Every structure is written in structure tokens, then in C-alpha cells.
Amino acid sequence: MTEEKNADWVAGFLDRLGGLSVGDRTALKRSLGISLREADARAVAAFFKVFWGGSRWEEDICFITACAVAAFHNVEGEKKSFQLRLREMAVSSGGVENKLLQLLDIPRKPETYFAVKIGRLLRQMLAAGLNLDFAKLLKDLQQWDHPARFVQLKWARDFYLTDSGQPDAENDSKNNKDIMKEKEENVD
């Protein structure tokens, strides 16, 4: 599929997700962090109502995205990329960096493990009321297993560096404080 056709398909898929009934959205929302193979019948049925014309190879990541779109349905605010939202969360929430590092190291298959890892981060974003650009997320997930790992590099770059190409001072100072605290605890 060409990049333009894929962008059209993604836009159509996301539009169809927006048109699902409340019951279908609820079934998908409940499956956030669960793979398509482990989802209940209602979530699977809701997913296949909107997933047509897509590749079978991409069913698992489209299901993750569908569950996230359903979960974030009522979240207001600016839509930003997944990795930028992670950077925002890392300022106020511990453990985000470690969860990102775990996610960056795993392949998309087996989809169960990948769904759990990304699902946890998505739930944290949802709890914080942070809206996402799901078209960007789906595009990144479609390219996750590329041998050059350019998606993982982009996510790490966006998480750790500011627009000026410098490390994020807030995250860096927070990390330095954590390191100093660990060193102090180890001395005792």
C-alpha cells in the first residue's frame, strides 16, 4: 500500500471508529491493553465492524489503536504524539521512563506482551486526561518492526530532547536527583 493510500485508509478507519455506538466503544475501551486474540467477543465484533480493507498483518496494532480511540473518546484538548505525551507525564509521574524503555526494546510480536506494555502507558495518559494523535500512533505502530528501528529512535529522541536538540532540563534534573538519591541510599 502506498503512503498516500495508507494515510487515506487510516483516516477512514479512525472516522469509522468515531461512528461506533456507545456499546461498541465501551467493549473496545474495556480491551485496552489486551491483544485481539485475547479480547472478548463484543470487542472483536466492534473492531471488525470498522476494520475492513486493512491488512491481516496489521490487525493487532489496529486493535490496540481502536481500543485507545474508544477509551479516549471523550478526552478534550490538543492532540499530541505518544512520545511527547510521555515526556509530559514523566515530569510528574515516576516510572514513565522505565516503561518507555521496556516498550522500545520489545518487538510487536508476540502481540499479547506488546499490547500489555503499550496499554499501561495509554491508561496512564488517559488518567492524566492527555489527548493523543491516533493517526500518528497508528502510523508509528505500523512501522514498529522495521529493521532500522526508526520509530523507536524517533520516540527516544522526542522523549529525551527538546525542539532545540538539547536534553529536556526538567527530566534531566529529575533523573539527576533520582541518581543522587540512589547514591546516598547506597552509601548508608
What is the rounded CA–CA span in Å between residue 118 and residue 141? 10
What is the rounded CA–CA span in Å between residue 111 and residue 121? 16
Residue 170's CATH number: 1.10.520.40
Report field, pTM of the whole predicted structure over 0.85: no
Q: Provide the 8-state DSSP code for 79.
A: -
The pLDDT score that the predictor gives to residue 187 is 47
> In the chain, which stretches have pLDDT less than 50?
171-177, 179-180, 182-183, 186-188
The pLDDT score that the predictor gives to residue 186 is 47
Domain span at residue 113 reads 3-187
User: How many domains is the chain built from?
Assistant: 1
Report the SS3 class of residue 132. Answer: strand
Cβ neighbours around 92 below 10 Å, total: 10
The pLDDT score that the predictor gives to residue 170 is 53
The pLDDT score that the predictor gives to residue 45 is 98
Give residues with Cβ within 8 angstroms of 66, minimum separation 6. Answer: 17, 28, 46, 47, 50, 51
Residue 33: which region, alpha, beta or left (left: phi > 0; alpha: psi -120 to 50)?
A: left
Q: Which helix (H) or strand (E) holds 82?
A: helix 82-92
The pLDDT score that the predictor gives to residue 124 is 94
